[in-house]
Amino acid sequence: MAGRYKSDLKWSDVTPKGDYMNRRQLMAGAGALALGSIAGPAMASLGAKKTSYGRGLELNSFEDITSYNNFYEFGTGKDDPARNARGLTTDPWSIQVDGLVDRPGNYDLGDLTKGITLEERIYRFRCVEAWSMVVPWVGFELADLLARVGVQPSAKYVAFETLVRPEEMVGQRRPTLDWPYREGLTISEAMHPLTIMATGLYDEPMPNQNGAPIRLVVPWKYGFKSIKSIVRITLADKRPPISWQMANGREYGFFSNVNPTVDHPRWSQATERRIGGGLFAKRVPTLMFNGYEKEVAGLYAGMDLTVNF
């Protein structure tokens, strides 16, 4: 059952049993699993601190979240990342932090995040393509990481880059996008408590296809802002170029806040298809700022959201 989420349960308890069994069988080797071991030891658990974010939302299954992905570095099909990202080396991993910071450097991921408490955040996730999911992310506030490196007062934007490694990222052997994948936020968006760096989901380390070992999650923006497998963070005083705007600036803006009243030039953004609902599931209305209006509308006070889309 993909029912209501109880915070003390593991993904295996809340994932539809068919999905769960499939995955366990993959992990354990076909046939090696007896029914009785369902309650047995779970996958490597991160032990993330439970929070009230998203409590009451109906979660997508682990299977949904890890088999229907956008990660063009591994191909443009929804099932390409799950298949092609398996061989990505995510350890060791370092992040170059540069620009307008007090302590720039090439940081080992473990050092950069040492001592940071991981939290579970259940967020709605809305892709610009008009599908959506609900994901139990594990991570920490980007603001905590930025505090560690010391943001200088002149910094107005944060830019992010994904790894470039065509030997392991087959999609990068073609110029689908101008690699590396790039994203950016204003400093106030980056500092907002809803903005997290995620290192896992369902209390497990981040699956490769979802952006291992560390990605951004900005829940009030279209999914493409949530850049995966980050290797560089730059503090800047000018707005950085971002991949989808570079590729097609008429269709994709810098802000890309979820907004049911501003349509994509080629489709409506008024409703969305919830993944996992089946082929004939009714579309659900898209919420302003993806349901986080109360928390984030103030960031855009006085802005014309049809111009600043």
Instruction: Note the residues at the interface with ligand MTE (CB under 6 A).
Output: 69-73, 127, 162, 181, 210, 223-224, 226-229
CB 48 to ligand MTE: min, Å: 17
Q: How far is CA 126 from CA 115, 123, 136, 165, in A?
A: 31, 10, 14, 28
Nearer residue to ligand MTE within complex by CB, 73 or 272: 73
What letter does residue 212 receive in the DSSP assignment? S
CB 63 to ligand MTE: min, Å: 13
Cβ–Cβ under 8 Å, residues 136 and 201: yes
Nearer residue to ligand MTE within complex by CB, 100 or 131: 131
Distance CA 150, CA 233 (A): 12
Distance CA 22, CA 201 (A): 18
CB 157 to ligand MTE: min, Å: 18
CB 66 to ligand MTE: min, Å: 8
CB 60 to ligand MTE: min, Å: 9
Nearer residue to ligand MTE within complex by CB, 247 or 303: 247
Q: Report the residue closest to ligand MTE, judged by CB.
A: 223
Rg (CA), the chain: 19
Distance CA 24, CA 197 (A): 28
Residue 288, classed as helix, strand or coil, is helix
Altogether, the residues listed in the chain come to a count of 309
Nearer residue to ligand MTE within complex by CB, 162 or 234: 162
CB 80 to ligand MTE: min, Å: 10
Q: What is the DSSP string of 47-84?
A: -PBP-STTTTPBPPPHHHHHHS---GGG-SSTTHHHHH
Q: How far is CA 78 from CA 74, 83, 210, 286, in A?
A: 10, 10, 12, 22
